[in-house]
Structure 1
Amino acid sequence: MSEYLEVIEGINVLQYGTTTLHRLLSKDSNIGFYSENLTIVILSCNRADATIKLIKSLNDKCKNFKGKVLIADNGSTEENISFIKSEISKIRINCKLIEFKENLGVAKGRNKAVEYVDTKWIMFLDNDIYFTKDIFPEAQKAISQLGCKFINIPLLNADKKTLFTYGGHLYLTMLDNNDIHIGCGSTYKQVNINDIKFIDNCLASFLFGGSSIVNKEAFLECGGFDEGMFIGFEDVDFSITLFNKGYKIGCCKEVGLVHDHVKSEKKSDIEYERQRFSNKKLYESACYFKNKHNIQVWSKSTEEWLKQREKELGIDNSKKEVEEEIIVNKKIKIALIVDTKNWAYDNIAKNVKKYLSHKYEFKIIYMDEIPDSNIAHVFYACMDCDLIHFFWRGTLYYLYGDFAEYYLKYYGRGIESFIDEVIRKKCITASVYDHKYLNSGIDRTKKMINLVDSYTVSSKKLFDIYNKLELNKPLTQITDGVDLDKFYPQNLERMQNIKDREVVIGWVGNSNWNGNTKKDYKGIETVIKPAIEELIEEGYKVRLELTDKQKKQIPHNEMVNFYSKIDLYICASLNEGTPNPILEAMACGVAVISTDVGIVPEVLGEKQKEYILQERSKECLKEKIKLFIKNIDSIKELSNENLLQIKGWTWKRKSEQFDEFFSTALEKFKR
């Protein structure tokens, strides 16, 4: 028998020239010599005993572990939650439990958990794993030696002898119909580890999501796990992303984790596993994968694997789904209604279409191209759609205008009959991006919300406000995102000579927003301009650059050039849902000062939060600008923080939230 690990047939292992001295190239200690830069993320859904077994093994076997543990609970019973809370209180390790109150699934659960992580590195561990030794010193060395941001940790089978996985490989095969099939698994054979004398770190093409260490920044840059994927497929999808982005996937040589998925016995556990290994859900996920990559992930071997897993876990899905006929439907058709081309809502619609067209068929309708903004005409034009989404909810109120009433009467309809016979037959959704119609206009809000089946809001502030109103509650919060292909750092070297020149301050928007010149919603006339003028009079070297839609509109794809010429962006709005220029400025590495509006407290990092205005006034803005100039040496730190923060706000991530919203809204509508 060979003393070396043997590669599975069909895989070519290329030599990778390296040396332990390559560790000296690393800029830092990655996860830390005592894992102080690492958070272990564990998804838990019932099976609390397995979760605690994992944590206790970490506590007992990894004596030098000084990292953190984050247990992300996917809707366990109160009994399981109480047990976890009780047990982690007895452990020396820094453990935190967060509760999602529902089963978000693996991909979304992991993505959501990452939002709570404050270390630079993350270890994803399934809760059916436990430690037999401290793998972290070798993992730290492997990351340094291989120079990778993603690394697999090998797993043993429950017998603690034979390998379950080592390495990680994407298996591609050509099918008879010329389709490509993809699978995943170990690079090396599942042999008795005690027979192997020579084992080393290596590279792989597949990342095991349930036993891997990842760099948080790189993980977010890759968009996280696709939440449209189900058990296992999200790992394959993410590995394809890593492959196409040119990231190396490493494998640590230390074998000290055991994969031990025991048979379900509790009723709650069995039901969870039944849902987890649902044939229908997995098949739908496979179809989603096929539409996205044009690669098959479902095969006979997948079905056989499912049957084997069901047998091992004591699950009987035959009564529910094995005999169920699976029908692959054509794409769901969605109409996206926006106000005008090449402005904010159109930008959102185009990005949603860009990232979700593999799953949905979209058509975008512009209201300013509809004669007299006839809302009834819009509904008739969308009769072939399954869902109609209004980005500007105010459009729905056009139904109660004189023109719509006249139009409907001409065709022998009243408004109420049109609502019952046309609108109620479609899934209607909308988004709320501003604070309009909340006081004197509350009756208008009630009428608009009454016309929709589900709606989103764009900030936590709006979510809290609408939750308290006596009307249907928002289904979810979806903020705006930013296209990092359009907005990116340019000319950052300008910051090096900022002390020797005037500070250029920028503002972008529509000074006459809402058509109201008397009330300065954007603060340009009553806050920003007066503050800058007084600072200049006081001897400060500052200059204001404006991009006002009322005077000259710069094409969206050219705005990156504007941000490359300013040093500081200011938002002085009275209210906002998502002030998009803040996201764009951050993506370009520009520091910001802003009123406390919309998503500002959510998107800004700790350093930038010092520049949120305590009050919306000329005086407060002047003080913040003076603080910025006083601390001008920290401009690079603000720039770097913004570039890091914005990586979690890409349109790819936000579009995945729209995907979930559309799916949930349609399910709710059908009930």
Structure 2
Amino acid sequence: MTQRKILLVVDVPGWAFEHRAKDMIAFQGDKIHFDLKYYHYVTANDQHKYDLIYAMSVGIAKTLYERGIPLNKLAAGITSMRQFNRYRLNKLTFNQEFMHFFTNLRGVNAASDEFVHKFSKFRPIHKTRVGIDATLFSPAKRKISNSIFTVGWVGRTDRDRKLKGFDLVTSSLKGLNVLLDTRTFTKNRVPREKMVEFYQGLDCFICSSASEHIPLPILEAAACGVPIITTEVGIVPELIKANKSGLIIERNAGALREAVQFLKNNPEKRTEIGKSIRQTILENWTWDVCWPEWENFFFTI
């Protein structure tokens, strides 16, 4: 089998797309050779250097297409509904020019059953779960005992603030004897390997997003055995069994506050949930498990 040469295109350094691309590069093996570029530096000439150019999001792919990368050389991942909403005409239809672009991409993949089902009416969508390095992201060898119950949150507060729900989290925790520890794009930002220490120091982790597809911090926290409180977004229904390996809540301050109080007051349940979600990761969400789906995608399109 001839090795395929693929360019992975990401948006910014040190954030989710780059992390995923670097994980993929670590798993490339003999069948695929990956290179990585930030989208600012991709030119039309790159089409001649690679068998395929894979954009980590449809939004990035649209930019590359406008720069001269032909659709028959371009594939993309669906990562959120936000990148589609700007082209939506009504609930059921999208801008014609955008649909020409989307339906003629060489290949499109998605991580969740929800998104595969939602977009398969327009074109073939390949299911490819996103894996996590469960050796890097793992529980602390010795459980850290916090003097104050510590809640973690990760996301961007410099944009999409309402969508990510940071203010919802802060309002829901007012008056509770808890510590909110955050990592954002602009504040308390650390290298990825340092994120392991962050997760290991938490008593629970919150995802408060209104819309997500592949919330990477959830996978990272889960691999570290941290109990998770989350809205029902993206891969969450496939990853978490409600009240067994995590708490899935309605997106409001009352539900969030109640869930935090429940975990705070039930340490045995926290331990049970943490062990359960870690085991789920090991069985279904490591790159060893998920990588064959990606290989199949890249060799099928």
Percent of paired sites with the same residue:
26
The whole-number CA distance in structure 2 between the counterparts of 1:336 and 1:387 is 9
Alignment deviations for residues 469-499 of structure 1 (CA, whole Å, 9 cap, x no partner): xx3231x12232211122111155235xx6x
Structure 1 counterpart of 2:233:
597
SS of residue matched to 1:336: strand
Amino acid at match of 1:453: R
Q: 1:431 to 1:530 in 2, by over 3 A?
A: same
User: How many residues align structurally?
Assistant: 293
Equivalent residue for 2:164? 522
TM value normalised by structure 2: 0.89
Q: Distance in 1 between matches of 2:274 and 2:245?
A: 13
User: 2: distance between equivalents of 1:533 and 1:511?
Assistant: 19
Q: Is 2:235 the partner of 1:584?
A: no
Asked if 2 retains the 8 angstrom alpha-carbon contact of 1:578 and 1:598, the reply is yes
- Tell me the secondary structure at the aligned position of residue 211 of structure 2: coil
Query: For residues 121-171 of structure 1, what are the alpha-carbon distances to aligned partners after superposition, in whole Å with 9 as ceiling and x for unaligned?
Result: xxxxxxxxxxxxxxxxxxxxxxxxxxxxxxxxxxxxxxxxxxxxxxxxxxx
Separation in structure 2 between the aligned mates of residue 439 and residue 344 of structure 1, nearest angstrom = 21
Does 1 or 2 have the higher relative contact order (CA < 8 Å, sep 6+)? 2
2:253 partner letter: K
- 1:450 is matched with 103
1:639 aligns with 2:274: yes
Alignment of 1:588-627 (within 5 A): 588-605=224-241, 607-608=243-244, 611-613=247-249, 615-627=250-262
Structure 1 residue 341 displacement after superposition: 2.6
What residue ranges of structure 1 are gaps of 5+ in the alignment? 1-328, 405-417, 666-671
Cα distance, 1:608–1:447 mapped onto 2, change above 3 Å: farther
CA shift digits 1:572-615 (9 cap, x unpaired)? 001111111111111111101000011111111454466100x2
Q: CA–CA distance in 2 between the matches of 1:593 and 1:445? A: 36
d(CA) in 1 for partners of 2:181, 2:252: 20
| Superposed CA offset, 1:373-416 (max 9, x none) | xx5x1x31231211111112212322576xx4xxxxxxxxxxxx
SS at match of 1:349: helix
CA distance in 1, matches of 2:246, 2:275: 15
CA contact (8 A) 2:80 2:212 kept: yes
How far apart are residue 330 of structure 1 and its match? Answer: 4.0
CA RMSD of aligned residues (A): 2.2
**Residue deviations 1:233-286 (CA, integer Å, cap 9, x gap):** xxxxxxxxxxxxxxxxxxxxxxxxxxxxxxxxxxxxxxxxxxxxxxxxxxxxxx
Within the alignment, does 1:380 sit opposite 2:60 as a pair?
no
- The 1:450–1:380 alpha-carbon spacing in structure 2 relative to 1, beyond 3 Å, is farther
- Residues 502 and 552 from structure 1, CA distance in 2 versus in 1: closer, same or farther, beyond 3 angstroms? closer
Question: Within 1, Cα distance between the matches of 2:128 and 2:138?
Answer: 22
CA contact (8 A) 1:505 1:543 kept: yes
Q: Partner residue of 1:480?
A: 130
Amino acid at match of 1:633: E
1:472 is aligned with what amino acid? R
d(CA) in 1 for partners of 2:243, 2:139? 19
Kindly state the Cα deviation for residue 649 of structure 1 after the two structures are TM-superposed. 0.5
Which residue in the other structure is 1:562 paired with? 198
3-state secondary structure, aligned to 2:189: coil
- Deviations 1:84-133, CA, capped at 9 Å, x for gaps: xxxxxxxxxxxxxxxxxxxxxxxxxxxxxxxxxxxxxxxxxxxxxxxxxx
Instruction: Measure the CA separation in 2 of the matches of 1:503 and 1:399.
Output: 46
Relative to structure 1, the CA distance from residue 509 to residue 439 in structure 2 (aligned partners, 3 Å threshold; closer, same or farther) is closer
Q: Which amino acid aligns with 2:123?
A: N
Letter in 2 for 1:335: L
Q: 501, 525, 532: which is aligned to 2:173? A: 532
Residue of structure 2 in register with 1:505 after alignment? 151
1:337 maps to what in 2? Answer: 9
> Greater CA radius of gyration, 1 or 2?
1
Match for residue 79 of structure 2 among 430, 433, 437? 433
CA 1:467/1:487 → structure 2, altered by over 3 Å: closer, same or farther? same
Deviation at 1:653, TM superposition (A): 2.2
Give the deviation of 1:640 after TM superposition: 1.0
**Runs (4+) of structure 1 moved beyond 3 Å?**
437-440, 605-610
Q: Secondary structure at the match of 1:570?
A: strand
| Pairwise CA distance, 1:630 | 3.0
* AA of the residue aligned to 1:481: G
Residues 315-330 of structure 1 mapped to structure 2, 5 A cutoff: 330=2
